[in-house]
Structure 1
Amino acid sequence: MPTMIFVNLPVKDLGTSTAFYEALGYQRNPQFSDENASSIVISEHIHVMLLTEKFFSTFTKKAIADAGTTTESILCISAESREAVDVLADKALAAGGSFSNEPMDEGFMYGRSFQDPDGHLWEVMWMDPAAAQGHES
């Protein structure tokens, strides 16, 4: 079985958050969803688990960060093209997400970012593999 990633995010309103990710074109997996959680399938190997804050708190002894004011991580997903980056970022903004940072354009690499309704930071990135191989930092 290939390695998979399940990103667990605390959310204030499960319905609003679920609708946001569905508006981006992702599917909710009902098998792992209930009144406490929505399992959102980003790809075959990437899933986002939207957990109500109350349910999320049962998995940790730490305080839950308020993603609207604190950043713990920036989640980045790849896109197949520059255009696909723009499509997903525009969908996010239209679906209730908010602007995060100016687009990043390095020529061989292009990305945009947004915040979901709870303030979780996301980046969408495209990289030209041929150009990236010859790129030195």
Structure 2
Amino acid sequence: MTIKRMENVGVVVEDLEAAVAFFVELGMELEGETTVDGQWAARISGFDEIRLDVAMVRTPDGHSRLELMRFHTPAAVGAAPNAPANTLGIRRILFSVDDIDEVLGRLRAHGAELVGGLEQIENSYRFCYVRGPEGIIVALAQELG
């Protein structure tokens, strides 16, 4: 048996409101928000107790989702917020965009900064990494031609 699809990628953040605003500005749609607690959630996660706020955002085509989570109990465990792109673990999320310059302009208003440079890869793509809220690296790719 094979998998049917990937449902979402979970991202733990301290400032849920800022993370939602960033990804909505990128072009994702807020699907919903809720608070999760209870023994079933604690057992799944391996904790004695759990309470967190969750916001689900999806791409406009409805195929990809990010589950943005802010933990209250237990408290989130810190990590290096400006870890480089070669750090072990999930390091970046890639989005295809229509106009990379326009998207960068909008995201800068939410504190996004280029990690390196905006590069053109031959005649096929313009590509960059930006660091968003909580140090999340978001890759942007604009197909050319």
- TM-score, normalization by structure 1: 0.71
In the other structure, the counterpart of 1:46 is: 64
After TM superposition, the structure 1 = structure 2 runs for residues 3-82 of structure 1, keeping only pairs within 5 Å, are: 3-30=5-32, 33-35=33-35, 36-43=53-60, 44-54=62-72, 65-69=79-83, 71=87, 72=89, 73-80=91-98
Deviations 1:63-117 (A, max 9, x none): 653333354312111124xxx1222222111222222110111232211221111
Matched residue, 1:113:
129
Distance in 1, Cα, partners of 2:103 & 2:74: 27
Say which SS state the counterpart of residue 92 (structure 1) adopts: helix
Q: Distance in 2 between matches of 1:67 and 1:7?
A: 18
Task: Quote the Cα distance in structure 2 between the aligned partners of 1:45 and 1:18.
Answer: 18
CA positional deviation for 1:55 = 6.5
Higher radius of gyration, 1 or 2: 2
Residue from 108, 116, 122 that aligns with 2:138: 122
State the 1:14 CA deviation.
0.9
Task: Give structure 2 stretches of 5+ with no counterpart.
Answer: 36-52
Higher normalized helix content (fraction of residues):
1
Report the Cα offset of residue 9 of structure 1. Answer: 0.7
Q: Does 1:89 align with 2:107?
A: no
Q: What RMSD over aligned residues (CA atoms) do the two structures have, in Å?
A: 2.8
Does the residue aligned with 2:94 lie in a helix, a strand or coil?
strand
Find the partner of 2:119 among 104, 118, 121: 104
Which runs of 5 or more structure 1 residues have no equivalent in the other structure?
130-137
Task: Report the count of equivalent residues.
Answer: 120
User: Could you state the TM-score of these two structures normalised by the residue count of structure 2?
Assistant: 0.68
